[in-house]
Amino acid sequence: AFKQAYAAAADGDVIILSEGTFEPERIEKRLTIYGAGFEKNAETNTAITAFSSHVSVGNSNIVLDGFHMEGVKVMGTLYFDGELKNSKILKCYTTTDIKFNKNIENVTVKQCRIGAVLGTNTVVASGLLVANCYLSSNVRTFSRESFINVDHCLLSRYANEDNAQILFTNTIVTGGYSNYGSIVGQYSTIKNCIFNKDAFGYYKIPSNVTVGTYHSVDIATIFADAENADYTETRTFELKDPETYKGTDGTAIGPSGGAGWNKVPSKPS
């Protein structure tokens, strides 16, 4: 059904997918794709729209300007193989990663559950926002010229280890492992973040990192809904003490602050 809809679609069209599992097709058109959600929840009236394997978007010969995907579960990696501009990936779940293989500009990944957000050593990310996401890994492997903002997220590994200019704001980092012996890359900036105190015994913040306010805490003590940072479908990631752990925008650090941890996709008219 998705392949038929894709074949009939033109640039700028909207495809609305029902609950169910679909076989993916390489997407080389500027589309808006809405699914029913990535988790089934009767209370919020969401269901699961899934692609049965990896999804590839774009190719090396085209620039997609204005691509939008929302409310979809990808059983694998979401690959962007061509240049991407002014695009959004919202309220999606990739069982592995989101991987950018070409330069991107003004791209938002928001309220998603994903593994890692990855580039390559030559990919320039000019304005990548990763916001209110749960990452079982981290954001890494972009070129030095990149500028990325990771805001109100939860990262389950070290923040990053590459040379990209990454601004971490209002984010929780629960892990500490890094081949470079540091929690963040040397060109990073940290503002109002929480780090797992256990990581600080072994992995440091490099001396040339721009550091604002941060907290080194026992991760098991900060959440109101569990004594860990593990993902479950019912987690809200609300903090016990949001006044102490307040972000740059005055809301709680982590996914519960900012735009909030909202997984319900838009309902297009």
Q: How far apart are CA 250 and CA 179, in angstroms?
A: 34
Interacting residues of 42 by C-beta distance below 8 A, sequence separation 6+: none
Decide: 142 and 119 in contact? Cβ < 8 Å: yes
Say how far residue 7 (Cα) sits from the centre of its chain.
29
pLDDT reported for residue 242: 96
pLDDT reported for residue 210: 65
Angle formed at CA 255 by CA 97 and CA 67, multiple of 5 degrees: 50
Interacting residues of 27 by C-beta distance below 8 A, sequence separation 6+: 6, 33, 55, 56, 57, 58, 67
Decide: 191 and 167 in contact? Cβ < 8 Å: yes
pLDDT reported for residue 40: 95
Tell me the helix, strand and coil percentages in the chain, rounded to 5. 5, 40, 55
Q: How many helices (H) and strands (E) does the chain have?
A: 1, 27
- Cα Dmax for the chain: 57
Decide: 149 and 167 in contact? Cβ < 8 Å: yes
Q: How far apart are CA 24 and CA 49, in angstroms?
A: 12
Q: What are the backbone angles phi and psi of residue 254, rounded to the nearest 5°?
A: 100, 180
pLDDT per residue, tens digit, the chain (269 aa), is 899 999 999 999 999 999 999 999 999 999 999 999 999 999 998 999 999 999 999 999 999 999 999 999 999 999 999 999 999 999 999 999 999 999 999 999 999 999 999 999 999 999 999 999 999 999 999 999 999 999 999 999 877 777 788 999 999 998 765 555 567 777 888 899 998 887 655 556 666 566 777 888 999 999 999 999 999 999 999 999 999 999 999 999 999 999 999 999 998 76
pLDDT reported for residue 164: 86
